Structure 1
Amino acid sequence: MPPSLIKLFVAASSVITGTVTTTTTTAVNDNVRRFDAVVTAPMIDAGAGTTTIPDTSFRDDSGTTLAAGALPVPPAGGYYNLYANGVLQEGGLSTLSATNLVIATAALLPGTPVIVEVHDYTGTTSASASTPNLTVTTTVNT
């Protein structure tokens, strides 16, 4: 009889025990700023069907008129709310830039108060730390 290869058979099993402790700390920083303006007749463009309020028509919470180009635009993850005559408007109705607020309607009347509320979350932080305390026991059966 010719020689044949003898193969070793080994079975191994492992047991993992212990814990992993994870601590997460999150600090949500909602930097909210509000700006108000009053619609005037020259802001309303009936032909285009829009109302455009320039940045320098807005005042901040302290009553200070904004400088040119100072209307804040929310960064990624932020958002703004638009209130016309105290009523929250739909999100797709307006476009906010550093120089103006364009509202997609000419139906506003002169004297209508407009408030823009900008929410900025760029100061939000989150950190996690994990401490593993694991033991692995392996048994090899031959």
Structure 2
Amino acid sequence: MATTLFKLVMDAVTETETYTNPEVEKYFYNFDEADLDVDTLTIPATSFFDDAGDPVTSNLVTLADDNGYYLLFVNGALQQSSLFTVSTDGSEVVITQASTIPVGAPITLVVNNFAPTSTSTTTVTT
């Protein structure tokens, strides 16, 4: 008998459901000249207010590893990410090139993290 390659023949269907589960925190601050040092604005976490209008009493929520991003708005305008940093422990936000920000301008930091989950079901039909 000649050599024959035997192949498995089967049909299967896989269904996957993925949920991104965004976790969004918003922090608000009104520009205070006392926090400005020449051209750099350093905002301590405790100078912010949370989404409920309550003062922040600890560090800000930071990004999940490789699974989130920050948005910074100054006077309602979205800023480039190269113009600001959030400390790794969330204790402060530093904005560079800040000398032109008007006193009292609203500054909003948005922290977007994701806690994704996925489930898959495979059904073999033959």
Q: What are structure 1's unaligned runs of at least 5 residues?
A: 1-8, 135-142
Which has the larger displacement, 105-114 or 20-29?
105-114
The CA RMSD measured in Å over matched residues stands at 1.6
Match of 2:62 in 1: 73
* AA aligned opposite 2:120: S
Please give the alpha-carbon distance, in whole angstroms, between the structure 2 residues aligned to 1:10 and 1:26.
48
* AA aligned opposite 2:81: G
1:68 Cα deviation after fit = 3.0
Paired residues, number: 122
Largest Rg, 1 or 2 = 1
Match of 2:11 in 1: 19
Runs of 4+ in 1 over 4 A off after TM superposition: none
Please give the alpha-carbon distance, in whole angstroms, between the structure 1 residues aligned to 2:108 and 2:56.
14
1:15 Cα deviation after fit = 4.3
Deviation track 1:88-141 (CA, whole Å, cap 9, x = no partner) reads 00011111131111001232232111001111102x20122323345xxxxxxx
CA contact (8 A) 1:45 1:106 kept: no
TM-score (norm 1): 0.78
Identity of paired residues, percent?
31
CA contact (8 A) 1:44 1:50 kept: yes
Cα gap change, 1:13/1:106 in structure 2, threshold over 3 Å: closer, same or farther?
A: closer
CA contact (8 A) 1:41 1:109 kept: no
1:13 Cα deviation after fit = 3.3
The structure that is strand-richer by fraction is: 1
Q: Indicate yes or no: 2:85 matched with 1:95.
A: yes
1:22 Cα deviation after fit = 0.5
Q: What are structure 2's unaligned runs of at least 5 residues?
A: none
